[in-house]
Chains A and B, each alone.
Chain A
Amino acid sequence: MKFFNLLKKELTELVNKQMILGIVVICVLFSIVGQVMQSSLDEIAKNEYKINIMDCDNTSFTQSIFDDMKAMQADITMIGVENSGKEFQQIMSENNIDSLVVIPEGFTRDLLENGDISALTAVSVMKSASSMSMISSDNSSALALFQSIISNKLMEKGGFSEQDIALVQQPFKINEITVVSDKSAEISMSTIIQNISVQNMIIPIIVFVLVMYTSQMIIGAISTEKIDKTLETLLSAPVSRSSVLGAKMLAAAIVALINAVAFMIGYYVFIGGAMTSAMSGEEIGAVVSDTLSYDKAMNQLGLHLGITDYLLVGVQTFLTIMISLSVSIILGAMANDAKSAQSLIMPVMMCAMIPYMISMVSDINTLPTVIKTIVYTIPFTHTFTAMNNLMFGNDKIFVFGIIYQAVVFVICMFFAIRIFNSDKIFTSSLNLGQKSRLRKKSR
């Protein structure tokens, strides 16, 4: 009985409105991320058997391949051969498609009569660096279907020589072309995404860590000073409140900067070093040569980021930290005790967590408009998508992001300074329904 009495008391302490709010917020977060993932998975299912083909060979053999494909429920869209003289980016833009398999003239002759390994051209339009962006541009299921059908047709002939067996196993080569906006390069889209995602992953991680770190520091610093009443002592000394606030913000920004540098060094030195040391000499040689062609292709596609781009991302990261600091000042001013100070970090955490998780699984720019608008309302989202927007020429979204963040920062800072310079720094509280002990005590 005594135990249940104790248990009841512990549960009453733990199950409060803050805890319930936390659960609700987590459910909302997972529901948003779940919806995003569901829409992406629906897109995958929708595109699985959707194949865009330009048949420049136009033989009975290629027709029989398409018949087999249709029999397998594939949704084939034929692109007119009269387009073949145009640039791929133009053809795809005109036909509003993101993937295309081109069968070159002489494909059947080379394959059936000359016994040569012929080549198919697979073109993909790349709109973002997210792995989910590959869904609509991916030609791999179409190419696998081609290989399976052609291999079956060759096997039907029978009487294979060694050369024939090799041909049956690998009936054609694939020339992969990636299109970005109005530029194209001979490189696989998956190669670009693999390389970019490693490079782009660091920004969201650093931003997420910085936001969490600075918020926790400022909320902790202000709430501790408030709870210990050292803030009253400090603000009654001959020093301006702006100096106290400025010193707190600058200290938090410096520590955050040191953390960012440590993270970047850690990421490039240790993770990069670990990846290099795991490779043999031959592999390193291959990586170096791949890197050279990769860099060339990136420049050709206009995906290479310059110093100005990195500076702009830096500006946006700085704005993000400043927003996080100013919001944290407002939240820290509302803390009455250590417990409420811990809960107050939750709004900032959610604002960082939602775009962070979504940017990990999907491209925010391709989300349904309503979800996209909601996610972009969170000012931190613009920093998570900054690299992607700069790379793929979404300059309007990027510039809007910087302006939006600057406006949010000015508004938050205005309220933070106002709270710090008014009685509210001592009288504000967020009790989530509890009676204000602070106000009662302050009388």
Chain B
Amino acid sequence: MNNILEVNGLTKQYSTVLAVDNISFSIREGEIFALIGSNGAGKTTTIRMISTLIKPTSGDAVVNGFSVTKQPEKVRECITYLPDEAGAYKNMKGTAYLKFMAGLFTDDSAKVNEYVSRAVEICGLKERLNDKIGTYSRGMIRKLLLARAVMNKPKLAILDEPTSGLDVLNAMEIRRMIKKLAKEDGTAFLLSSHNMLEIEFVSDRVGIVAGGHLMTEGAVSDLKARYNTSNLEEVFERVVVSHEVL
């Protein structure tokens, strides 16, 4: 399968802080790749650079053949981004929000309707979509935003902490949704999380980030075998705390 995302030496230097230092990895079509790390490790900065929201200090990322530094407009046509703890326009109704967001991806009204229908089906909010978003619970907003993020079948969906703040049942539903969409639509997912159990369940490959560096990467089963551990949390501990890079 082709690589949808190729990250090459991505670096971000804020005035005195080196937030991301020379990170490189790739994601294949239909693959779920997760960046895991502690708070402030550099996950969100990496994701923001790939989403074309902030410019890298050096390095590049190529999404579906388009460079984030040279062709950010083209990159944005191939990706969708769901920020951590993102909200939606509280005074809009659910359907109106989906329609508004679909209208940013295409001018064709038939396609807008197609995207909205798909999002309606994915989010499962049914008649609540006719209510204002301000009346939604956190779980409902997250489902709406996730449906928005995948309604146009993007080449790459970037989800920052997709289940943060959600209860167990809502989180499980969203994880299943991500796996299903990757398998059925071939959408590649770049996730970030510090929930190891979630990542172990949902992702095909994992990259562990600490202090702005990508310490190690690989399939969850490979990493567990490499570090001779029973779960991803132990791998994470050994990489981040003991700086063991195998």
A166 to chain B, nearest CB (A): 73
- A240 on the interface (CB 8 Å rule)? yes
- A277 on the interface (CB 8 Å rule)? no
Interface contact B87-A442, CB-CB below 8 Å:
no
- A296 on the interface (CB 8 Å rule)? no
Known A-B contacts A238-B73, A426-B48, A440-B40; the reply to A232 vs B104 at CB < 8 A is no
- B79 on the interface (CB 8 Å rule)? yes
- B213 on the interface (CB 8 Å rule)? no
A217 to chain B, nearest CB (A): 14
Known A-B contacts A423-B55, A426-B53; the reply to A443 vs B77 at CB < 8 A is no
Interface contact A228-B87, CB-CB below 8 Å:
yes
A421 to chain B, nearest CB (A): 10
B61-99 interface bits toward A, Cβ cutoff 8 Å, 1 = contact, 0 = none: 000000000000100110111111111110000000000
16 A/B residue pairs, CB under 8 Å, sorted by A: A228-B87, A228-B88, A230-B89, A233-B145, A236-B79, A236-B81, A237-B80, A237-B101, A240-B73, A422-B55, A426-B48, A427-B54, A442-B44, A442-B48, A443-B17, A443-B45
- B30 on the interface (CB 8 Å rule)? no
Interface size on B, residues (CB 8 A): 35
- Considering the chains assembled together, what is the distance between the CA atoms of A81 and B82 in angstroms? 87
Q: Which residues of B contact A427 (CB under 8 A)?
A: 14, 54
Task: Name the residue of chain B whose CB is nearest to the CB of A244.
Answer: B104
Interface contact A236-B85, CB-CB below 8 Å:
no
Interface contact B86-A230, CB-CB below 8 Å:
yes
Q: Which residues of B contact A240 (CB under 8 A)?
A: 73
Interface contact A230-B87, CB-CB below 8 Å:
yes
Q: Which residues of B contact A233 (CB under 8 A)?
A: 81-83, 86, 101, 145
- Considering the chains assembled together, what is the distance between the CA atoms of A239 and B42 in angstroms? 26
13 new A-B contacts at CB < 8 Å, known A236-B53, A443-B40: A228-B88, A229-B86, A229-B87, A230-B87, A230-B88, A235-B53, A236-B51, A236-B79, A236-B81, A422-B55, A423-B54, A426-B48, A442-B19
- Considering the chains assembled together, what is the distance between the CA atoms of A233 and B89 in angstroms? 11
Interface contact A237-B104, CB-CB below 8 Å:
yes
8 Å CB contacts to B: which residues of A130-147?
Answer: none
A394 to chain B, nearest CB (A): 46
Smallest CB-CB A-B distances: 4 pairs = A228-B87, A236-B81, A229-B86, A423-B54
- A153 on the interface (CB 8 Å rule)? no
Q: Which residues of chain B have a CB within 8 Å of any CB of chain A? A: 14, 17, 19, 39-42, 44-45, 48, 51-55, 73, 76-77, 79-89, 101, 104-105, 145, 158, 212
A418 to chain B, nearest CB (A): 13
Q: Which residues of chain A have a CB within 8 Å of any CB of chain B? A: 228-230, 232-240, 422-423, 426-427, 439-443
A87 to chain B, nearest CB (A): 65
Q: Which residues of A contact B79 (CB under 8 A)?
A: 236
Within the complex, which residue of A228, A236, A426 is in contact with B80, where a contact is CB–CB below 8 Å? A236
Q: Which residues of A contact B85 (CB under 8 A)?
A: 229
- Considering the chains assembled together, what is the distance between the CA atoms of A369 and B217 in angstroms? 69
A258 to chain B, nearest CB (A): 18
- Considering the chains assembled together, what is the distance between the CA atoms of A228 and B85 in angstroms? 8
B93 to chain A, nearest CB (A): 15
Interface contact A236-B86, CB-CB below 8 Å:
no
- Considering the chains assembled together, what is the distance between the CA atoms of A300 and B76 in angstroms? 65
Known A-B contacts A229-B85, A230-B86, A427-B14; the reply to A443 vs B105 at CB < 8 A is no
- Considering the chains assembled together, what is the distance between the CA atoms of A427 and B81 in angstroms? 18
A92 to chain B, nearest CB (A): 62
A333 to chain B, nearest CB (A): 13
Task: Name the residue of chain A whose CB is nearest to the CB of B84.
Answer: A229
B86 to chain A, nearest CB (A): 4
Interface contact A232-B73, CB-CB below 8 Å:
no
Q: Which residues of B contact A443 (CB under 8 A)?
A: 17, 19, 40-42, 44-45, 212
Interface contact A229-B83, CB-CB below 8 Å:
yes
B105 to chain A, nearest CB (A): 6
- Considering the chains assembled together, what is the distance between the CA atoms of A423 and B54 in angstroms? 5
Q: Which residues of A contact B42 (CB under 8 A)?
A: 443
- Considering the chains assembled together, what is the distance between the CA atoms of A232 and B85 in angstroms? 11
Interface contact A439-B104, CB-CB below 8 Å:
no
- Considering the chains assembled together, what is the distance between the CA atoms of A442 and B48 in angstroms? 9
Interface contact A236-B87, CB-CB below 8 Å:
no
Within the complex, which residue of A235, A237, A422, A426 is in contact with B105, where a contact is CB–CB below 8 Å? A237
- Considering the chains assembled together, what is the distance between the CA atoms of A229 and B105 in angstroms? 19
Q: Which residues of B contact A442 (CB under 8 A)?
A: 19, 44-45, 48
Known A-B contacts A233-B86, A427-B14, A443-B45; the reply to A239 vs B55 at CB < 8 A is no
